[in-house]
């Protein structure tokens, strides 16, 4: 359906994008433009009607006033018959009404112009997943992550752990059962290689279920479990 914009004169076609209630070129809402135009026309019509009703009758021919001589009384001035300008109190009522409606008309036109200038393009509604994608792109990419290594047994045991730390180095520690489950947390950059290996050191008399985990920003991303004596459980990955 073709529709012409009253602001920029653009004719909308079915191929134009955006909502059908707004101009795709300037963004003005068709309904607001029509309301403003009707209000302006009504104000002009009312002002014209008031002016037509208040027109003063044609002035009558001035009657000839006989010349009079100045008074002869002492201390008095001659009477002046020359036309004097009308004061504000003597202004005809219809002129005051016309001035009032002219001022009102100027106000309506100014308000309409400001409304057109301040009109904004109505954003086109988009599916929720598109909005989520746009917000994700607007956010700056994350370059550092909190990494946590975890080693735990289902019963008391001593373990030996080997892991890649936040400086891209390798560390090795022996952890007694009193410090189990064991945790190590550090910050690693994007692309860092993560590695954790744990071995049961309690001997054949104490077979256990040994589990190792890697958590990134509190979320478990890798897990491995081994059961038995001297078993090894290891996990690895790259950010």
pLDDT tens per residue across span 196-225:
999 988 777 888 888 999 999 999 999 999
- Asked whether the predicted pLDDT for residue 167 surpasses 80, the reply is yes
> Is 16's pLDDT higher than 90?
no
Number of DSSP helices (H) and strands (E) in the chain, helices first = 3, 10
- Clarify whether residues 197 and 118 are in a common domain: no
Look at the alpha carbons of 18, 20, 25, 26 in this order and tell me if their dihedral is positive or negative: negative
Residues 43 and 150 in one domain: no
134 vs 204, higher pLDDT:
204
Position 130 in a domain: no
The reply to whether 136 falls in a domain is: no
The Cβ of residue 150 has, within 10 Å, a number of other Cβ atoms equal to 19
* Residue at 174 is within a domain: yes
Can you tell me which residue has the tokens 């994608």?
133
DSSP 8-state symbol, 92: -
Instruction: State the pLDDT at residue 224.
Output: 93
**pLDDT grade, residue 69 (50/70/90)?**
very low
Domain with residue 185: its CATH number is: 2.60.40
pTM of the model: 0.43
Instruction: Output 112 or 142, whichever has higher pLDDT.
Output: 142
**Residue carrying structure tokens 């070129």:** 25
């Amino acid at each position: 359906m073709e529709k012409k914009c009253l602001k920029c004169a653009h004719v909308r076609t079915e191929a134009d994008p955006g909502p059908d209630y707004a101009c795709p070129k300037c963004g003005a809402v068709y309904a607001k433009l029509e309301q403003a135009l009707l209000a302006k026309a009504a104000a002009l019509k009312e002002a014209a009607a008031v002016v037509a009703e208040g027109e003063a009758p044609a002035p009558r021919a001035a009657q000839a006033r006989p010349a009079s001589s100045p008074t002869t009384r002492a201390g008095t001035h001659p009477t002046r018959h020359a036309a004097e300008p009308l004061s504000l109190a003597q202004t005809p009522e219809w002129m005051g009404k016309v001035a009032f409606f002219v001022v009102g008309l100027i106000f309506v036109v100014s308000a309409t112009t400001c409304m057109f200038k301040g009109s904004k393009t109505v954003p086109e509604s988009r599916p929720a997943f598109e909005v989520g994608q746009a917000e994700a792109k607007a956010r700056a990419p994350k370059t550092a992550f909190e990494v946590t290594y975890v080693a735990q047994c289902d019963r008391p045991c001593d373990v030996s752990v080997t892991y890649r730390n936040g400086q891209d180095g390798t560390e090795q520690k022996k952890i007694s059962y009193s410090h189990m489950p064991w945790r190590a947390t550090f910050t690693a950059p994007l692309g860092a290689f993560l590695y954790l290996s744990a071995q049961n050191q309690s001997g054949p008399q104490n077979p256990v279920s040994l589990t190792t985990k890697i958590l990134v920003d509190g979320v478990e991303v890798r897990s491995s479990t081994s059961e038995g004596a001297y078993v090894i459980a290891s996990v690895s990955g790259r950010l």
